[in-house]
Structure formats: C-alpha cells, structure tokens
Amino acid sequence: MQRAEPYLKTMKDTGRILGRSVKKAAGICAQNAETMLKETLSRAAGANPDDPAGDFGDPAGCGRKNYAVVTGASSGIGMEFARRLSLEGYPLILIARRRDRLEALRRELGTECLLLPADLARREDLIRLCEDLVGRRIEVFINNAGFGVSGPFLTTEVGREIGMVDVNVTAQHVLFKYILHRMEAEGGGTILNVASSAGLFPAGPYMSGYYATKAYMASLTRGVAEELRQAGSPVYVGCLCPGPVNTEFNDVADVSFALPGISAEECVDYALRMMARRQTVIIPGREIRAAVIGQRLLPTALTVRIAAAQQKKKMEEAAAANAEAGEQT
C-alpha cells in the first residue's frame, strides 16, 4: 500500500479533471456519436458520387473520380502511401494532426488534395471527419494513424495510454466501420488497416498497451474479412502488420528495435503488392515473418518472456543513447 500512495495521491489531485473528461467523452459517444454517424451514413448513401462536394478536379487529366484517403499522412508509412497513391493518379484526402506537414506534402506531390487536419484522439474531431467525407466517393482507405507508448505499466502515464487507445483502437474502429458501410453501398473499394506485427504476438511486456491495441485491430480485420468473404462482398479488407520500420514512430515511443528496420518505401511497396493479391494479413520483411511463424511453435509463456527481454534491452539501449546525446550537447 505504501508503494501505491504516491500514485494514489497524484490520481486524487487529477481525479476531478479526469472524471469530467471521461464523463464528457462518454456523453459525446453515447448521446451524439451514434446518431451523428447514422445521419452521416444516410447522407453519404444519398450523395451523388459523380458530383462530390470537394475541391479536387481531375488530377493530371486522368479522368479518375474516386479518392484515396490516408490517415496519419504527415509522416512515415502514411506519407509514403500518399506518395504512391498520388503516382497512381488518385486525388487524395490527407488526414493528420499537423497541418503544416500536410501542406508541405501537398506541395511536394503536386496532386489535387484535400487536407483535413484532425486529432483522432478527440471524439469531436472523429465525428467531424466522418461528416467532412460525405459526398466524396472513396476507392482506397489507408487506416494508418497510430502511436506507441513504452515502459513498465506501473510507471507509464495513464493519459498518454488512453490517448493511444483512442487513436489506435477507437478511431481506427469507427473509421473502418464507417468507410466499410460507404464502400458496401457504393459497390466496392479497398481498406487497409495498419496494425503491427506486435498484434500477432501473445503479449509485449514493457509495451503492453501498444501490443494490445494492435492485437485488437489485427483480430478485428481478420474477423471482418471473413464475414465479407462469406457474404461475397466486393470490398477488400486487409491488415498491414509490419515489424520495425524506420519512421518517427521509434522516437515517439522512445524505443529502438532488435531486428533491423525496413524503410517506409519497402513496407508500402510490399503492402501494395499483397493488396493486389487480396491478402488479409500482410507482414513485410522476411525476418519478422519468420519471427511471427516461429513464435507459434513456442509455449506462450516462453514467447512472452523473450519479448520482455528484448523490449527491456531496447529501452536500456534507447536510454543509453539519449544519455550519450545529452552529454554531447
């Protein structure tokens, strides 16, 4: 009990604020979100896809009328998907928190783009985003936004973890369901949920919450994909589960990786090839594919212990590197 007292004191000091925030979020979700999403779906079903309420025009004279939507488009895997889809002639809808980065990407691409800055940890932004997509026919949806938190569960910041769950689970789930409804009504489309190879392992000590959020999306995608297969749906749904990728994710989560990372370009190139084959679970990188297959042959408890040892080593290496960088400045 004595060890818990400092934590309990902190929670007591912030409890009122946290309680009001949770109550407000619950109110938005229970009273408004369901109604607003239903209304948005209804308007989307009645919209004329050949007369979208947007500012796109005909990119490069290609005559394409359908759009590609990318969340988390301001860096890493999302940015690379935007580049590749732009080259394929899609007008783009780019979503991320940082408008300045989206503006820079639009200038780089030279593609007709609609920028929709949004913080997907906020339910208000999530609902507004669904409304903003009404009337624009979507052919490709890259459900990519997400981030990680590392450290012992007893010491990681609860507010940051809840934000991670809001983005990695709630926002991805809501947007997946919303876009799937749209595509079913419009006769087809492609959805890629970006999870992680972490979601294919039984657990990840010292990144426990992150592994859990990615397991949620991997499981959800596989289940829905089978439902759609049995229903003969024209919509393709896949789940991208990369291992280490050399992006800003590593800095945000404050980790390094035991396996060598692949580039975002390699990751997206492999993903697009597997999407063309309508593969449900996509794992780029031979090493991580071997690791995912190999861990199935081991007892679960042993796999979790190995994951714990690797993650602990990564945190120690990251801490040492940060300390060395601090000494040099």
Please choose, from the candidates 186, 316, 251, the residue with its C-alpha nearest in 3D space to the C-alpha of residue 324.
Answer: 316
Q: Which helix (H) or strand (E) holds 92?
A: strand 92-95
Please choose, from the candidates 162, 259, 145, 277, the residue with its C-alpha nearest in 3D space to the C-alpha of residue 212.
Answer: 162
Active site includes 210?
yes
Handedness of CA 324, 325, 326, 328 (dihedral sign): positive
- Catalytic residue, chosen from 67, 90, 178, 210, is 210
Do 273 and 226 meet the contact criterion of CB atoms below 8 Å apart? no
Q: Tokens for 283?
A: 């794992």
Which residues contact residue 218 at a Cβ distance below 8 angstroms, ignoring those fewer than 6 apart? 195, 196, 199, 200, 239, 241, 281
Question: Rounded CA gap, 223 and 201, in Å?
Answer: 17
- Residues annotated as catalytic are 210
